[in-house]
Amino acid sequence: MRAGLLGAVAVVLLVTGCSTAGASGAAGSGAPAPRTASVTPSAPAPERTPDGTLLVADFDSDTVTFVDPERGPIDSVKVGTAPYGLVVGDDGRAWVATAEGVTVVDTEARERLDRIPYTTDTGPVTTGEYRGGGMGIALAPDGERVYVGVNVPDAKGVLEVIDSKEREVTDTVPVGRRPFDVDVARDGDEVYATGHDSYDVTAVRTDTLTPRRLEVAPYGTEGGLGSWLKPHYAVVREDGRLALPFEGERLAVLDPRTGDVDIERMTADTHQHGAALAPDGTLLVVGTGPIDGSDKGPSLTIREPGGRERVIPLDGPHEDVTASEDGRTAYVTGGFTRDGSWDGITVVDLDSGTTRRLPAGVRPLGIAVL
């Protein structure tokens, strides 16, 4: 099983883009009615979900959608308002971060098992990029703990720790603003929450739950909330360092032991969001498109462990990415947190660079291969 994917500021600014905070739904009015995933299976659903099926979080709906990588959607399950990130364990259970809580889904039976409410007050349930509730989510290597980054509008974010057997929140830890991504060290000793609006990664010891703020700002922090030049998603490399892509120009490589950040050159020249590692260590990075007239369009960067890159153009913005078990195919979600999203996935052959579009859910963000 493989996890895909994918903060907290609700200040209304007159600057657009993922850099600024602005509520996407009237406070106190409740969430707008979600759209419904369109599922038109060509045959009755199988008794067991086939290996290799994709699972996506439908950010503009209240569902996750099961997607055949050749044919498209085969089924959906209601999980709660505006699901963002998701992670799947070896037991086949998916943990989905929504605006209302973390929902547990049996991916083999394709049914909801539970929803665990947050213990943090995240305000009214709304939708959109700045809504309160869970964003990044990760699972401990032993499967005993789930870690979810919770956006608290107009405040710092919170890492909530869930006991996976009891299905309840056991601890909370303060982290940076709008935790787009949560990752776990390979040995399980630390959790890393990437704070988009605070230019940082919060490293949290899993035994003591002690947090450490590690600034990651290769362009500086002078732009504040109005800046586009912030961290979004990270991956944990084999050597334990975190790699965070910026603008198709700089790959910030963070050593969480020391807080040192090395910069490696990138070549896509585009605003970047989702990141994932293929089984051989190849880094996959989603380019969402230009933030000014000089940037290039949407793309997928394929970066080999030695640093050599190929950049594959994509049609329209995308948000997150994962790879197939054999490492030959990438699946890039079209949900995008900003304007221009679409209801599908781009399937990329990593050997040839050829692409095809696949219908998949409703503004899909987080993704995993089952």
For 149, the token pair is 């980054």
The predicted structure's pLDDT at residue 34: 75
Residues 6 or more apart whose Cβ sits within 8 Å of residue 43: none
Average pLDDT over residues 223-227: 87
Question: DSSP readout, 79-145?
Answer: --SS---EEE-TTSEEEEE-SSEEEEEETTTTEEEEEEE-SS---S---STT-SEEEEEEE-TTSSE
Residue pair 94/83 in contact (Cβ under 8 Å)? The answer is: no
Average pLDDT over residues 127-140: 97
Of the pLDDT bands very low, low, confident and very high (cuts 50, 70, 90), residue 293 is confident
pLDDT per residue over 249-292, tens digit each? 999 999 999 999 999 999 999 999 999 999 999 999 999 998 87
**Among 39-48, 100-109, 120-129, 178-187, which is the least confidently predicted range?**
39-48
Indicate whether 23 belongs to any domain: no
The predicted structure's pLDDT at residue 253: 98
The predicted structure's pLDDT at residue 24: 35
Q: Which domain holds residue 112?
A: 54-369
Average pLDDT over residues 358-369: 97
For 354, the token pair is 């050829």
More confident site: 291 or 78: 78
Alpha carbons 184 and 262: distance in angstroms, whole number: 20
Average pLDDT over residues 360-369: 97
287 to 103, 169, 231, 320, 354: CA distances (angstroms): 29, 34, 13, 9, 16
Residue pair 108/159 in contact (Cβ under 8 Å)? The answer is: no
pLDDT per residue over 299-340, tens digit each? 999 999 999 999 999 999 999 999 999 999 999 999 998 888
- 3-state SS record for 189-252: CEEEEEEHHHCEEEEEECCCCCEEEEECCCCCCCCHHHCCCCCCCCEECCCCCEEEEECCCEEE
Residue 181 three-state SS: strand
pLDDT per residue over 151-178, tens digit each? 999 999 999 999 999 999 999 999 999 9
Average pLDDT over residues 338-357: 95
Average pLDDT over residues 341-352: 97
Alpha carbons 122 and 318: distance in angstroms, whole number: 27
Indicate whether 27 belongs to any domain: no
Indicate whether 6 belongs to any domain: no
Alpha carbons 292 and 58: distance in angstroms, whole number: 28
12 to 26, 213, 225: CA distances (angstroms): 12, 26, 10
Indicate whether 288 belongs to any domain: yes
The predicted structure's pLDDT at residue 38: 61
The predicted structure's pLDDT at residue 13: 30
Residue 23 has pLDDT above 50, yes or no: no
Average pLDDT for the chain: 90
The predicted structure's pLDDT at residue 85: 98
The predicted structure's pLDDT at residue 1: 39
DSSP state of 156: -
Residue pair 280/324 in contact (Cβ under 8 Å)? The answer is: no
pLDDT per residue over 43-72, tens digit each? 555 579 999 999 999 999 999 999 999 999
Whole-number percent of the chain with pLDDT over 90: 83
The predicted structure's pLDDT at residue 46: 54
Q: Is the dihedral of CA 240, 267, 247, 319 positive or negative?
A: negative
The predicted structure's pLDDT at residue 81: 98
Indicate whether 45 belongs to any domain: no
Alpha carbons 302 and 105: distance in angstroms, whole number: 31
Residue 349 has pLDDT above 50, yes or no: yes
Alpha carbons 87 and 96: distance in angstroms, whole number: 7
Indicate whether 148 belongs to any domain: yes
Indicate whether 7 belongs to any domain: no
Indicate whether 326 belongs to any domain: yes
Residue pair 23/12 in contact (Cβ under 8 Å)? The answer is: yes
Whether the link from the prior residue into 365 is cis, omega within 30° of 0, is no
The span from the first CA to the last CA of the chain, in angstroms, equals 5
Please report, for the domain that includes residue 185, its CATH number.
2.130.10.10
Average pLDDT over residues 346-350: 98
Which residue in 77, 85, 81 sits closest to 109, CA to CA? Answer: 77
Q: How many domains, in total, are found in the chain?
A: 1
The predicted structure's pLDDT at residue 36: 64
180 to 7, 201, 231: CA distances (angstroms): 6, 10, 9
Average pLDDT over residues 9-21: 37
Alpha carbons 238 and 235: distance in angstroms, whole number: 10
The predicted structure's pLDDT at residue 205: 98
